[in-house]
């Protein structure tokens, strides 16, 4: 959520930010609603002050007629205050709802664009695998070695569903455990979090109300399945006041994630690239309200992910995401895309995002700074590893001429010493 005071001071900044991101919001209407709310608040405050003054008169010397008239006036004032307070609550709720739809303006150096074709490639790392044979894609390799079963997954759970089994499951577990170990060595606390949350957690982390169509809802219980542990790790401190000396907080969430993939009909229908359920280790940092610190930790999160990918021996590229591809709350975003031979190109595997105080403000997370003032911290996140997308890159990149699949060296200890499937 954006700061209403900043919106009042510089509405053009937010209008331009919304335009850059491609969000259609009426900033003027929000400011008009805010002006109404402030006018009613002023009326309530004024009437309360007058009521207080009139109440004091009741203690003074009054005739019976004067006392009855004053009592009638006090009742009238009390009714007017209650009416204004009811109106104020309605306006506050309406304003709060509208503020949830206003995007956080991107940082000035973010490339302006409308879609992923306007993302800016920053660098490529590693080399694409070279084959002296006709390589298979992950679907054919997976079926050959019994790593997963899509046909039965669809039978049981519908489209974009699958069973991961045998060495496929072992490889996924190895990847997740390796990522957790890397992050723990770098000061991250690992979490297994709830995957079913209340609406407050989705709103607080910025996934609702925009993006609601992407989430699976358990309507009877008014609960939702998470699409990332970013939701639960940010919400972990929802409504709390943190200690400044404890910042930054570095968290790593290992969870199953769920996404409806709304609007993706017909996209990436072959194999496991776009599925409804997946495993992920997510990095989250909560730091002080300082942009330089935020950018430092943004680079740290990006570096952690790149270390893991490099150690897996995968070819990848880093892109700076343009304004039109950013979400509601992000002010800076980088994607990492790993090379997948079966696609003949790169596929997104990581998203590194900074939010300033957007999420903390929505989730009501604060800390007391050195001046004794309660302020909102900044939040950041990035994928560490996600399966099955990284499995695709590994399986396809490490295939051999005889059809077997080599295990990346760093994962061998997590595969009970197995070096080849």
Cα dist. 120→103, 109, 113, 251, 352 in Å?
Answer: 22, 12, 10, 29, 14
**Which one of the listed residues 288, 356, 361, 389 is annotated catalytic?**
389
Residues 93 and 136 in one domain: no
Domain assignment present for residue 108? The answer is: no
Domain assignment present for residue 111? The answer is: no
What are the pLDDT tens digits along the chain (421 aa)? Answer: 899 999 999 999 999 999 999 999 999 999 999 999 999 999 888 888 877 776 666 666 766 666 677 677 777 777 888 888 899 999 999 999 999 999 999 999 999 999 999 999 999 999 999 999 999 999 999 999 999 999 999 999 999 999 999 999 999 999 999 999 999 999 999 999 999 999 999 999 999 999 999 999 999 999 999 999 999 999 999 999 999 999 999 999 999 999 998 777 777 778 999 999 999 999 999 999 999 999 999 999 999 999 999 999 999 999 999 999 999 999 999 999 999 999 999 999 999 999 999 999 999 999 999 899 999 999 999 999 999 999 999 999 999 999 999 999 999 999 999 999 9
Residues 6+ apart with CB under 8 A from 366: 240, 241, 242, 360, 374, 375, 376, 377
Residues 273 and 307 in one domain: yes
Residues 190 and 143 in one domain: yes
Please give the pLDDT value at position 375: 97
Residues 49 and 169 in one domain: no
At which residue do the structure tokens 């990035």 appear? 382
**Which one of the listed residues 37, 160, 250, 259 is annotated catalytic?**
259
Please answer whether residues 289 and 369 qualify as being in contact, where contact means their C-beta atoms are separated by less than 8 angstroms: yes
- Nearest CA to 255 out of 223, 284, 296 is that of 284
Residues 289 and 392 in one domain: yes
Domain assignment present for residue 421? The answer is: no
362 flagged as catalytic = no
**Which one of the listed residues 205, 229, 235, 351 is annotated catalytic?**
351
Domain assignment present for residue 105? The answer is: no
Please give the pLDDT value at position 76: 78
User: What is the CATH number for 23?
Assistant: 1.10.287.40
- Please report the DSSP string for 76-106 in residue order: HHHHHHHHHHHHHHHHHHHHHHHHTTSPPPP
CA distance 125 to 127: 7
* Residue 20 domain boundaries: 4-99
Please give the pLDDT value at position 125: 97
Phi, psi values for residue 276, rounded to 5°: -90, -25
Please give the pLDDT value at position 58: 60
Residues 78 and 51 in one domain: yes
Q: pTM score, two decimals?
A: 0.93
Q: Helix/strand/coil (H, E, C) string of 197-245?
A: EEHHHHHHCCCCCCCHHHCCEEHHHCEEECCCCHHHHHHCCCCCEEEHH
Give the domain-ending residue among 47, 70, 99: 99
Give the domain-ending residue among 99, 124, 146: 99
Residues 65 and 140 in one domain: no
- Please report the DSSP string for 122-181 in residue order: EEEES-----SS----HHHHHHHHT-EEHHHHHHHH-TT--EE-THHHHHHHHHHHHHHH
Cα dist. 241→235, 237, 364 in Å?
Answer: 13, 8, 9
Q: Per-residue b/e over 44-75, b at no fewer than 16 CB within 10 Å? A: beebeeebeeeeeeeeeeeeeeeeeebeeebe
**Which one of the listed residues 43, 161, 348, 404 is annotated catalytic?**
348
Please give the pLDDT value at position 65: 67
Please give the pLDDT value at position 73: 74
User: What is the CATH number for 381?
Assistant: 3.30.930.10
Residues 75 and 150 in one domain: no
Residues 26 and 135 in one domain: no
Residues 35 and 62 in one domain: yes
Residues 89 and 200 in one domain: no
Domain assignment present for residue 420? The answer is: no
Give the domain-ending residue among 49, 68, 99: 99
Task: Report helix, strand or coil for 366.
Answer: strand
Domain assignment present for residue 372? The answer is: yes
5 flagged as catalytic = no
351 flagged as catalytic = yes
**Which one of the listed residues 38, 124, 177, 274 is annotated catalytic?**
274
Residues 409 and 305 in one domain: yes
Domain assignment present for residue 106? The answer is: no
State how many domains the chain has. Answer: 2
Domain assignment present for residue 18? The answer is: yes
Please give the pLDDT value at position 79: 82
389 flagged as catalytic = yes
């Amino acid at each position: 959520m954006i700061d209403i005071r900043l919106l009042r001071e510089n509405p053009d900044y937010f209008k331009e930010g919304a335009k850059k991101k491609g969000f259609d919001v009426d900033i003027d209407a929000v400011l008009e609603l805010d002006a109404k709310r402030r006018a009613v608040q002023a009326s309530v405050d004024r009437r309360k002050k007058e009521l207080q003054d009139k109440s004091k008169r009741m203690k003074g010397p009054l005739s019976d007629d004067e006392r009855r008239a004053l009592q009638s006036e006090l009742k009238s004032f009390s009714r007017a205050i209650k009416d204004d307070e009811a109106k104020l609550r309605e306006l506050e709720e309406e304003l709060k709802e509208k503020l949830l739809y206003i995007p956080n303006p991107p940082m000035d150096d973010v490339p302006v664009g409308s879609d992923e074709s306007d993302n800016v490639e920053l660098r490529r790392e590693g080399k694409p695998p070279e084959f002296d044979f006709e390589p298979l894609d992950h679907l054919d390799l997976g079926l050959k070695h019994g790593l997963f079963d899509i046909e039965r997954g669809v039978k049981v759970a519908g489209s974009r569903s699958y069973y991961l089994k045998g060495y496929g499951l072992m490889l996924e577990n190895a990847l997740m455990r390796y990522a957790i170990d890397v992050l723990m060595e770098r000061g991250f606390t690992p979490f297994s979090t709830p995957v079913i949350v209340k609406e407050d957690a989705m709103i607080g982390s910025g996934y609702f109300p925009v993006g609601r169509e992407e989430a699976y809802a358990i309507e009877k219980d008014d609960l939702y399945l998470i699409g990332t542990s970013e939701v639960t790790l940010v919400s972990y401190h929802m409504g709390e006041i943190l200690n400044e000396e404890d910042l930054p907080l570095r968290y790593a969430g290992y969870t199953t994630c769920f996404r409806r993939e709304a609007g993706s009909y017909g996209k990436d229908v072959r194999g496991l690239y776009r599925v409804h359920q997946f495993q992920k280790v997510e990095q989250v940092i909560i730091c002080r309200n300082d942009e330089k610190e935020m950018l430092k930790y943004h680079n740290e999160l990006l570096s952690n992910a790149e270390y893991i990918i490099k150690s897996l021996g995968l070819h990848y590229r880093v892109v700076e995401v343009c304004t039109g591809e950013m979400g509601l709350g992000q002010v800076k975003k980088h994607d990492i895309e790993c090379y997948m031979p079966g696609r003949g190109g790169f596929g997104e595997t990581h998203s590194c995002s900074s939010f300033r105080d957007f999420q903390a403000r929505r989730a009501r997370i604060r800390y007391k700074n050195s001046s004794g003032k309660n302020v909102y911290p900044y939040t950041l996140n990035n994928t560490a590893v996600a399966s099955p997308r990284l499995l695709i890159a590994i399986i396809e990149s490490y295939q051999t001429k005889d059809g077997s699949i080599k295990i990346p060296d760093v994962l061998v200890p997590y595969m009970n010493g197995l070096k080849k499937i």
